[in-house]
Amino acid sequence: MRTILLCVASFFYSTAFAQRDCGTDSYWQEQLRANPGLIARQREISIFTDKFIHSSSMQMKEQGADPSGSAMITIPVVVHILYEDPIQNISEAQVQSQIDVLNADFRSLNSDIEKVPNAFAPLVADCQLRFELAKVDPEGRATNGIVRKQTGRMFWVQDDRMKKTSLGGDDPWDSRRYLNIWVCNLFSTLLGYSTFPGAPPDKDGVVIRTDVFGINTSGSAYSKGRTTTHEIGHWLNLKHLWGDAPCGDDGVDDTPQQKTYSNGCPSFPNLSSDCNPGPNGDLFMDFMDFTDDACMQMFTQGQKQRIWAIFAEGGPRSSILTSNALGSPWIDSLQASPSVASTPNGIFVYPNPANMQLRIRDESELSGSSYMIYNSTGRLVLSGICNSHTPTINIGKLAPGIYFLKLIGPREKRGAQFIKN
């Protein structure tokens, strides 16, 4: 009975924690030990990131401005809410409050940005990221971006069971096109953990404890939604400021070297690091430190560069840029399979997503019409002639991704989008 009471208490009382408990480093080290191939993948991503940052820095020197300009990266989000007790089944408004926090924090639009000390103010970055709940699920149906599942588990630990339907959790949506966030009752003081880019697709995403997701009035040190900001920072390839080692390297040039994590709400300057003798001390107000939510306010320009690297062409999260998760559903929510994508001009392509073959149906005669298939970069990858009224196209050799089909008939051109699994 005592064990059960302690488990329940882990959900309701986060105010007693002495420090922020992020499980990402220990989780990721375990993943690297279990999967040697992941180590090689991390090296590739590290080299790619360093090259991007170097190139970006050179452009900035030549142009005198951020090469990203006014561009914006929009990330589709799906939130998997796992609950044993109905009180853990948080409202849609609570979910949206977290999305709002993310959009403020990653754009430096948070109301407390003015608290950043003047010495660090020039480092503050607008990361030019927007987070939005998905509008289309992997099957093409309309969604609000929230999945709710009642389970028989009172609490969860750092073993990824929440990411598997077969183990009582909920399988991720395609991680090439969605940021998956699992919200569940994590055991004890653990607030959350995340994968880094390069993780296996069935594990990729962020896990957050229910009572620290979004804004709440509990009075907790972690009630302002910054745990999710911090963990998504890891998903975006940001490390802790101290590099998870005494005076370690976080891979960012403009963050001062730091001996270890900060607790609570330090006063500026926080001169705690033997490895940082400068007068300004630690960057404790950065989202990748361990301070309380009320004392986290910023990302740096260097961190922004590291984030943007993973979305660059060939980067580990570049597929997010071609996600159709925020578009229009291509299946009526009441419609049975096969999955069909349609366009206002009357073309139907199915199944969608497709694996080996794609069929086309149209109200007009298609036999003799030309078809062309383009990838997400606009390159022609397949073409041919329709040989029947409902032609079938072999797409087995196409790489997974989003494609656009163009039909050219005797009198008009029409098109439809589809996904190759």
Domain ranges of the chain: 2-322, 341-420
Q: Structure pTM?
A: 0.77
Residue 114 annotated to the active site: no
Strand order in the sheet with 392-394: 341-342, 348-350, 357-361, 392-394
Helix axes 24-34, 36-63, angle to 10 degrees: 120
pLDDT of residue 418: 83
CATH superfamily assigned to domain 2-322:
Collagenase (Catalytic Domain) (3.40.390.10)
Rounded CA-CA distance 320/311 in Å is: 8
pLDDT of residue 13: 39
pLDDT of residue 15: 40
Neighbours of 214 (CB within 10 A): 25
Over the chain (421 residues), what is each successive 10-residue block's mean pLDDT?
36 50 96 96 97 84 66 96 97 98 98 97 97 91 95 96 97 96 96 98 97 92 97 98 94 94 94 81 97 97 97 94 81 38 57 86 72 78 82 90 79 73 84
pLDDT of residue 345: 45
CA torsion 93-95-96-98 (nearest 10°) is 130
341-420 has the same fold as 2-322: no
pLDDT of residue 338: 36
pLDDT of residue 409: 73
Pick the CATH number of 341-420 from 2.60.40.3080, 2.60.410.10, 2.60.40.3620, 3.40.50.2300: 2.60.40.3080
The CA–CA distances, whole Å, from 249 to 28, 206, 242, 254, 275 equal: 16, 23, 6, 11, 11
pLDDT of residue 1: 34
Of 231, 313, 363, 412, the active-site residue reads 231
